[in-house]
Structure formats: C-alpha cells, structure tokens
Chain A
Amino acid sequence: MSADLLLNALVAGLLLGGFYAAVTVGVSISFGLLDIVNIAHPGFIIAGSYVAYLGNSRLGLDPALAGVLALPAFYALGAVTYQVYHLSFERRGQEGLRGLAFFFGLLFMIEVALTLLFGVDYRYVSAPYIDKSITLGLIQLPMRMVVPCVLSLAMLALLQLFLGRTFLGRAIMAVAQDHEALRLMAADPVKIKRIAFAISIATCSLAGACLIIIQPVEPSIGREYIGRVFAISVLGGLGSLPGTLIAAVLLGLVESFTATFYGPSWAPALSFGLLLLTLAVRPAGLMGR
C-alpha cells in the first residue's frame, strides 16, 4: 500500500463526494423538506446527462453550460410533475402507496424512453478539460472530476444561501416544519412546495451534466444512483444541506477506497449496504432534524 495510491484514493473520494452531494441535494429537498419520496430523481439526472450530451454533440456547447441552460426546462418539468403529484395524491391523502408507485413508474418510463431514443450504448461528452489533469506532487487531480466537484459545491452553496437568506427559501424551510402555520401567514403552501420541488428537479440538470463529464452514461445507470442518493440523504439527515455534503463525501471516500483496493464491481452494493445499515441503526442520520 503506497502513500501515492492512498493519497490519490483519498483525493478521488473527496472529489467524488462533492459530486455526489450535487446529485443528492435535490432529494434532500424533496424527501427531506417536502416529504415526497421521489424515486424518479436519478431518472431526471440521467435525463440531464443526455440533455448535456445533446447540447455538446449537436450544438458544440460545453456540457456544463448545456446543463445550466437547461435549468429552466427542468424547473418547469419539476413544477408540472409536482402539480400532477399534488392533484392526484397529496390532496387525497394517498401519498404512501400510490405516490411511490407513481414515481417508480415515472423512473421506469424515463429509463425506457431514453433507451428508445439513444440506445444502450455509452454516450460521452467532449470538452477541452476532460482529458487533462493537474499534478500536485504525488496527487493527480483529473479535471473531469475537479470541474464537476467545483460546480457541485457552487450549486450547494447557492442553495444553502437561498434557503437560509431569502424569503422564499425560508418559506420552504417553514413549510417543511408546519404546513398550517404557513397558511396562516398568507403564503400558499402548495405553491411553495411546487417551487421547492421544481428546484429539486432543476438541480438534476446540472448534476446530470456533471455526471456525464465524469463518466460515460447509458440509461440504466440511474438505478445505481437510487441507492447512493437515498443513502446519502438519510445518512446526512433529511433536509440538512451541510449534512448531505458530509455524508456524500463519506460515501465518496468509502467507494474510492474500496474501488482502489478491492475492485469496482462491489461499488453498487456499498451504497445500498450503507443505507440498509443506517436505516437499521440510526434512521435519523448524522445530522437529523
């Protein structure tokens, strides 16, 4: 075990963790704050990856830029999805079974639709920085991981500021705590929730772009991320953004070390195993409400 290998596994884990945080932050909002179990979240992320791919291959855009440009579209998609969800389930008080089945069906349809449109071949993007890496002594910093990590952290910071400082952000935090109180303050909880959910889906646009920068994608990859996303958000304490980051980095490190020393084929089991463990032992997570 060389210091070189160890250090690089560490760095890779940290960078990966930053990215995982971006992937998860949408679920921290929808599951943590709004109590909506959006299992289709990874599906939206993969869709985001493909949008970035289209922007990159057809229009020659930088994938991250494509991700940013697609934000409004994903926001709108999130708003529509929430509206359907709300009218069909929340209003009738049937979120449990039916809501889950709804999102599962949605996840499934997204995956199949993407398979029909793009086939099962791996798609990747090209950008000037993807093949480069910076070397600092023993440490290799591949740009294709650094750029997404930086973008992810930026997105997280923006969201944290939004939730903590703006009126709308605090309204969202409030609606998570007490529906009725919000109504009494003349704010429409449904509208607030719709905005929050739309934001959570919007994050998928950028997260998806980050994903395809890091690795090539094909439609069924989303399934691996279901485990990661929910493991991180439960571990990090539902609804806590700092907690999400810490948990994400933790998972990133664990995966990185396992991949380096035991091989990558065990990776999917790790996140899910961690989730099962967390659920069994400490459901409130690391920084629970």
Chain B
Amino acid sequence: MRPAAFFAAAIGVAALAFAVASLIGNDYVFFAGYTVVQFIVLATAWNILGGYCGYVNFGTAAFFALGAYTTVFFHKAYPLPIPLLLVFAAGVSGLIGLGAGYLTLRLRGAFFSIATLALAVVLQTFVVNWDYVGGSRGAYVIRPDSIDVLGFQIGYVRYLCLIMLALAAVAVAIARTIERAKLGYGFAAIRDDELAAEASGVPTLNLKLIAATLSGALMGMAGAPFPYYTGYVEPASTFGLAYAVNAIAMPMIGGTNVWFGPVIGALLIGTLMQIATVTISSAVNLLLVGALLVGFVILAPNGVVGLIQAFLRVASPSRLEPRSIGLVALATFAFIAGVLEIVFGLAALTAPDPTGLTIAIGGLALAALWILSAYGLMTLQRWSPLIATFAFALSIPVGALHIWLDRSPTNIALWGGAIAIAIAAVLFLQRRDVRRFYQGFPAKEARA
C-alpha cells in the first residue's frame, strides 16, 4: 500500500473510532480514550529512535512535558489554537531532540540513554524554578466548554480526542513510511551493527539525528494538548517516570520491529491501565507494567508481534492456515485473560475479607496458568496444549460461578460468551492435528 493510501486509511480508522465513541455518547469513553491514543503517539514516537535505531530514550517525559509547557507558556502569554500549539511544540521538542542528540549520539548507545535521563531531570529543574509557568506549584489551564469545528459545536474533550486521533494517524503513517523507505534500511543497519553500517556507506550520525528530532517532535506534539485535557499541570507528574516506563514498555511489549507493534502495545497496556486504575491502586498498576516490561524483555524480546511472527514462520511458513490462526487467537485470548485476571486478583487481594483472599489467590493462580499457556503455545512448547486445555477447562466453572454471583443480563452475556469460547478452545486443542503439531517439537524449540 502506498504511503498516501495508508495515511488515508489511517485517518479513516481514526474518524471511525471517533464516530463510534460519539455514538456511545459517554464522556468517559473520550477521557479514557484520549490517554490510550496519546500513548499510541508516544509509543510510536519512541519506537522510531528506540526500536528502529536501537537507541533507548529514557527521557520521554522531557519531550512530552516540553510540549505541555509550551502550551502553558502560550496560554499565559497569548492563547493560541491547538493546531498551532502542536506546531510550536513540535518545533521546541524537535530542536531539543536535535540538540541532545548532537551532544550524545556520537557516543555509545548507553551514554545516550543516560543523557536522556539527565535531560529529563535538568528540564524538570528548570521548569520547577520558572515561576511564569507555575514552578513547582503548577499551572491551571482553563479548558473551554466546547469549540466550533467546521460549523459543529463539539465538547472540548471530544475535540482533544479528535486532535489526538489525527496525530496518531500521522505518527503511524510516518513510522510505516520510514520502515519501507531507504531511511528504514539505514535505521535497521544502525540498530544491528553501527560500525558495519558506516562501512556500508550509511551516514549514521545524520540518520540518528533525524530519528532523534522526529521522535522528540512527535512526543512534544503529544504533550501539547495535555494541559487542556487535565486542566492542571505540575512538574512532578508531568515529568514523571510513568511516561518514561510506558513509552518504553508499550513498544517493547507490542513489538519494536514494525509500526503496529507500538500500537498493539499501547492499546494493550493503555487499556490495562485504565481498567487497573479503577480497580487497584495506581502504584500497583505501575508495578504490573514494570513487571510486564521486564518479563517481555527477558522472555519475548520482540514483543507480541515478534512472538506471533516467529510462531507463524514455523507453523505456516508459506500461507496462513486456519489451524495457525486459531492457535494465535487462542494464545492472544489466553494472554489477555491472564493479564486481566492478574488485575482482578490483585484487586481482590486488597479486599478485607477472607473469601476475597481465597478468590484472589485462585485468580492469580489461574492468571499464571493463562499466561503460561499463551507463552507455551506461541513458543511451540510440547506441554502447552495440555496446560492450555487445563486453563480453558478451569475457566468454565469459574465463568459459571461469575454468572451465579451476578445474574444481570450483561454479566450473563459476557461470561456466557467466555464459557462458549472456552469450550470451543478445549475442543480445538484436542484435535489430532494440533496435538501432533506440538508433539513434533522437542521441548524449548523456537524461541521468539
């Protein structure tokens, strides 16, 4: 698909998402959705320098906050429309990205990463000492109620979502275009072996500077609407480590080699965070993201996408077969179920009564089983069909219990569907061709 066509498609998807959200009508969807889409932009931006070039940026917060504080500055000095703010934020953050890159990208990757951490702290210190934008007390930014867009009056938060969706489409289109172009080859060469890249004629410093500037600019743009979204901006949380971790975790969990890796990661972790923030404390939520990051980095370094790609390379190298698709779907379902189960298990852990405690432990055990199944199925472990069967089978009585506890129609529909999937899964895993497929591999074969 040519770049222009892809961009049109991306905009189309963004518009569709906005339309669906508008139909649901609930403002909460827009509030939560904004955060998730913002992370799509941040994750994609990070991945341009991190995943494509191999240079880890720990200072995502710095570029994001720069964009936010550019908005705060203009809000106090001379309020500007958001699209213009995006341009200014891109300029500021891009320039800082270029500058920081010029200072440090000639050195080893490790030094660059440490320098990005340094950058975040230095910038935070400056902002804390700059009273015009509020210093450590923070700044209030009054959000208008609604805004006129092409003759329609829409709520301001919805407008911000629209902007962020458009930005996400742009970011993703840029990432994909780079991937397939000459620039993408250069980036990949730098990532794999910088010395050999130089010897092959790749101007490594220039390309790295391009990546750093682009990445920084996109992050700044993601930050520009933020003050209007939250209404109150203060350095401690805006420069917070949470942004750095999420910007790294999402691409690494989703997959760093391809443009839809960060998108998948952002959707997965972003949604998880939204669910977790309402059920468990935000600290435990962050711990979970950190644990997922470490787990993926160790066990599945190429992320979900890499895992599935490696599986398909072995399972159906020439064309996609239904069996492989079924297994991928099962593994995905198991993984998501496992992660959700962890969240609910942790939530039950904090409940005061003893039945809550047993449910919590049971839930966490089941979650472990799910995740093990997903991992085993995708890495072609011999024992995986058995474990997966067990996991799915176990969930049938659990689902029944959930229905018995709460007989509202939505709950019955939800858990009824889950039970149906579980039964189908168990039957699928017993198929002779599936079992033979997994027995054909010695233990611990193809790692992702």
By a beta-carbon cutoff of 8 Å, the part of chain A in contact with chain B is 31, 37, 39, 84, 88, 94, 96-98, 100-102, 104-106, 108-109, 111-113, 115-116, 220, 223-224, 226-227, 230-231, 234, 265-266, 268-269, 272-273, 275-276, 279-280, 283
Provide the residues of chain B in CB contact with A98, threshold 8 Å: 297, 301
Is B128 engaged at the interface, CB distance under 8 Å to the other chain?
yes
Q: 6 A-B contacts, Cβ less than 8 Å apart?
A: A94-B301, A104-B293, A116-B287, A227-B118, A266-B129, A272-B117
- The reply to whether B294 and A97 form a contact with Cβ atoms under 8 Å apart is no
Query: Which residues on B are within 8 Å of A, measured CB to CB?
Result: 50, 54, 56, 58, 103-104, 107, 109-111, 113-115, 117-119, 121-122, 124-126, 128-129, 191, 241, 244-245, 248-249, 252, 256, 281, 283-284, 286-287, 290-291, 293-294, 297-298, 301
| Contact B293 A101, beta carbon cutoff 8 Å | yes
Bound: A106/B248 CA distance, A: 13
Given A37-B110, A101-B56, residue A88 in contact with residue B298 (CB < 8 A): yes
Q: How far is the CA of A104 from the CA of B56 in the complex (A)?
A: 10
- A280/B103 in contact, CB under 8 A: yes
Contact: A276 with B294, CB < 8 Å?
Answer: no
Are B248 and A104 in touch, CB under 8 angstroms?
yes
Report the bound CA distance from A224 to B58 in whole Å: 14
A269 and B122 contact, CB distance less than 8 A:
yes
Query: Given A112-B287, A280-B103, do A106 and B294 touch, yes or no (CB 8 Å)?
Result: yes
Give Cα distance in the complex from A112 to B107, angstroms.
Answer: 31
Do B290 and A84 touch across chains, with their CB atoms under 8 A apart?
no
Q: Known contacts being A268-B125, A276-B103, is A39 close to B54, with CB within 8 Å?
A: no
Q: Are A266 and B125 CB-contacts (below 8 A) given A104-B248, A109-B287, A272-B118? A: yes
What chain A residues lie within 8 Å of B244 (beta carbons)? 104
B110 close to A279 (CB less than 8 A): no
Asked, given contacts A88-B298, A94-B301, whether A223 binds B121 with beta carbons under 8 Å apart, the answer is yes
Max chain A C-beta neighbours (<10 A), residue from B107, B290, B291: B290
Q: What is the CA–CA distance of A113 and B286 in the complex, to the nearest angstrom? A: 10
A269 touches B114 (CB 8 A): no
Q: Would you call A275 and B245 a contact (CB within 8 A)?
A: no
Partner of B114, one of A39, A108, A113, A223: A39
Which residue of chain B has its CB nearest to the CB of A116?
Answer: B283
The answer to whether residues A276 and B115 also contact, given A102-B294, A105-B245 and a CB cut-off of 8 A, is: yes
A105 and B293 form a contact (CB under 8 A) = yes
- Tell me the nearest residue of chain B to A280, going by C-beta: B103
- Nearest residue in A to B128 (C-beta to C-beta)? A265
Bound Cα distance from A266 to B241, whole angstroms: 20
Q: For B109, B114, B115, B121, which residue has the most chain A Cβ atoms within 10 angstroms?
A: B114
Whether A101 and B126, one on each chain, are in contact in the complex, defined by CB atoms closer than 8 angstroms, is: no
With A105-B245, A279-B104 known as contacts, the answer to whether A100 contacts B110 (CB < 8 A) is yes
Considering only CB atoms, which chain B residue lies closest to A85 in the complex? B298
Shortest beta-carbon distance from A25 to chain B in Å: 17
Report if A108-B290 is in contact (Cβ < 8 Å); known contacts: A97-B50, A115-B283, A275-B114: yes
Between A31, A84, A88, A104, the greatest number of chain B beta carbons within 10 A of the residue's beta carbon is seen for A104
Decide if B114 touches A116 in the complex (CB within 8 Å): no
Q: A226 to B110, Cβ gap below 8 A?
A: no
Q: Which residue of A lies closest to B118 (CB)?
A: A272
Measured CB to CB, the nearest residue on chain B to A92 is: B301
Q: Say which residue of A104, A109, A265, A273 sits within 8 Å of B122 (CB atoms).
A: A273
Minimum CB–CB distance for A149 against chain B, Å: 25
- Inter-chain CA distance A106–B295, complex, in Å, is 10
Is the pair B287, A279 in contact by a Cβ cutoff of 8 Å? Answer: no
Q: How far is the CA of A135 from the CA of B297 in the complex (A)?
A: 53
A115 to B284, CA, bound (A): 10
Query: Is the beta-carbon distance between A109 and B294 smaller than 8 angstroms?
Result: yes
Q: A88-B297, A100-B113, A269-B126 are in contact. List 14 more A-B contacts (CB 8 A).
A: A84-B298, A97-B256, A100-B109, A101-B252, A105-B297, A109-B290, A116-B281, A223-B121, A230-B114, A265-B129, A268-B121, A269-B122, A276-B104, A280-B104
Which residues of chain B come closer than 8 Å to A100, judged between CB atoms? 56, 109-110, 113
Give the CA-CA distance A283 to B228 in the complex, in Å: 41
Taking the nearest CB of chain B, how far is it from the CB of A104, in angstroms? 6
B122–A279 contact, CB under 8 A?
Answer: no
Q: How far is the CB of B439 from chain A (nearest CB, A)?
A: 27
